[in-house]
Chain A
Amino acid sequence: MRRLQITKIVLILAIGIAVPFAGFGQQMESHIGNLTGHSEAGRQLYYRYCWGCHGARGNGDGENAPYLNILPRNFVIGAFKCRSTPTGTLPLDSDLFSTLKRGINFTNMPNWSALTDQQRADLVAFIKTFSPRWKTEKPGDAIQVPAEPALSVASIKHGSELFQKLECWKCHGQEGRGDGPSASTLTDSNDQPIRPYNFTSDNRSKCGKTNQDLYKIFMTGLDGTPMPSFADVIKPEDAWDLVHFLRTLQYNNKSPELALWLSTKEGAEIVNAKKVQNTYTGSGVKP
């Protein structure tokens, strides 16, 4: 009788432990270049480094989640910000791998550069076990980024026109400070307030700091945020002009684009007028 009870307790304990991890029986692989990641290896790493925020079931409800501004990603939904694939599609393994390596700037997601490439590949494989989408869908076809044309003043000026025409300023502000007329009303897909990117803060955007990263951000959109995809409305050659212009908004970042823009009379006037001293926002209100 007593033995039966012990068996019962052991059984209940076993179920209690197993249930939170149920459904992750399937194996996944990730392929990044020559690397192959294995979900079984990634599982160990996930339950050491990731679940505090992303939760035991990967749905973003880890014990730290309530304290985070911009909630941790819910891997069950399978929507990711930093992709090279069109909006609404799954990212490439290499996109997730890059996010782990880089972190997501301006959020609580740190970079995991302390892990090895193999470990990051294993984690990518494990993250893919959370959403059924990885079994029924393939990642989208990566958006083709054509070679960057030579930088020119004309390119920057055309980019500036696009910034007006596409109404980027409605959220990002005319000076790119993230303070446009719609900025204060923005919420992400978790119904949490979210700020548009402030170009004057530094040269890193959420999904990386190269010109290619900038190009991809507005062409793919950042899924789960208000930032939409412009892939259907910006031609590839125009997109590079917009990238060149956006760089000039980052006036604290010594980029070739900014240097060229400052060398023109028009550009220098615009940039210098923006450099309001001693304020956080440039709005004239002293902190």
Chain B
Amino acid sequence: MSKKHVVLAGAVMLAASAVALAGPAGGTVSGKVTYEGTPAKMKPIDMSKEPSCQKMYTTPPTVETVVTGSGNSLQDVVVYISAGAPDDAAPSTAAVFTQKGCRYIPHILAFQVNQEIKIVNEDQTSHNIHPLPKVNREWNKSQPPGTPPISEKYDKAEFIPVKCNVHPWMHGNFAVLKNSHYAITGDGGAFSLGNLPPGKYTVTAWQESYGDQSQEVTISGSETKTVNFVFKAKPY
């Protein structure tokens, strides 16, 4: 094989991997979630009934039903394609939900229908994990310290509040979604949903206290469309 051929073969491989890296050619929907008005002040959590958790904090953490960031941005908003995309098969990796310091990490766990979730207790106290679905099955399991993770699945799409009855301040959410096009906003409220084949989509943003909002967007080719959501903050 001549040197020229090797270079050529290398170039072809590079080109091929570049295509593979880009993934299936598709568009992106990105944007920012913000609020207008004055959101309720998030109250500090009194963990005095659970000293083993209380001592993990120098200043008490606050409740997380509305988490705001710089520039009126809203965190912990689930942005997802609610219509237009086909249902995806569940990924083989498990989504992990951790109980630490008598709080749920992450506060909102998003995963797909039939995807495994693993619930871990890193605390020195017993928790009970009590998700409160309306359309999925309701179960309620105790998890003392040092016991193995609980493995579960949900077979229908739903936003499910999660609580621990022993520690009433513990509150989180499961977002069970039908496809892999979803994001949870972080500080700054930004999101990006990629790999969208050309088509018409409904993009929905869900905030646990403010409800949901939807917008239609049409993707043609590999463009990036901007969709922003503004929620009206409630002062209570």
Contacts and interface: CB of A to CB of B under 8 A. Distances in A.
Looking at chain A's contact residues, the main secondary structure is: loop
B211 interface: no
Contact of B142 (A86, A88, A189, A229): A229
A89 B141 CA distance: 13
A128 to B, nearest CB: 16
A223 B144 contact: no
B131 to A, nearest CB: 10
A105 B150 CA distance: 31
B236 interface: no
Given A166-B144, A232-B150, A233-B144, A171 B165 contact: yes
Q: Which of B49, B130, B143, B147 has the most CB of A within 10 A?
A: B130
Nearest to A230: B142
A46 B157 CA distance: 33
A139 interface: no
Contacts of B224: none
Interface stretch (A26-34, A63-71, A179-187, A258-266): A179-187
B126 interface: yes
B140 interface: yes
A35 B73 CA distance: 62
Nearest to A137: B137
Contacts of A233: 142-144, 147
A79 B167 contact: no
A229 B165 contact: no
Interface size grouping (class) on chain A: 20 to 34
Given A166-B144, A182-B167, A79 B130 contact: no
A133 B128 CA distance: 25
Contacts of B132: 189
B19 interface: no
Contacts of A224: 138
Given A226-B165, A233-B147, A221 B141 contact: yes
Interface of A: 77, 79, 86-89, 133, 165-167, 170-171, 181-182, 185-186, 189, 221, 223-233
27 contacts: A77-B134, A86-B139, A87-B140, A87-B141, A88-B138, A166-B142, A166-B144, A167-B125, A170-B166, A171-B166, A182-B49, A182-B167, A182-B168, A221-B139, A226-B128, A228-B130, A228-B140, A228-B141, A228-B142, A228-B165, A230-B142, A231-B141, A232-B142, A232-B143, A232-B148, A233-B142, A233-B143
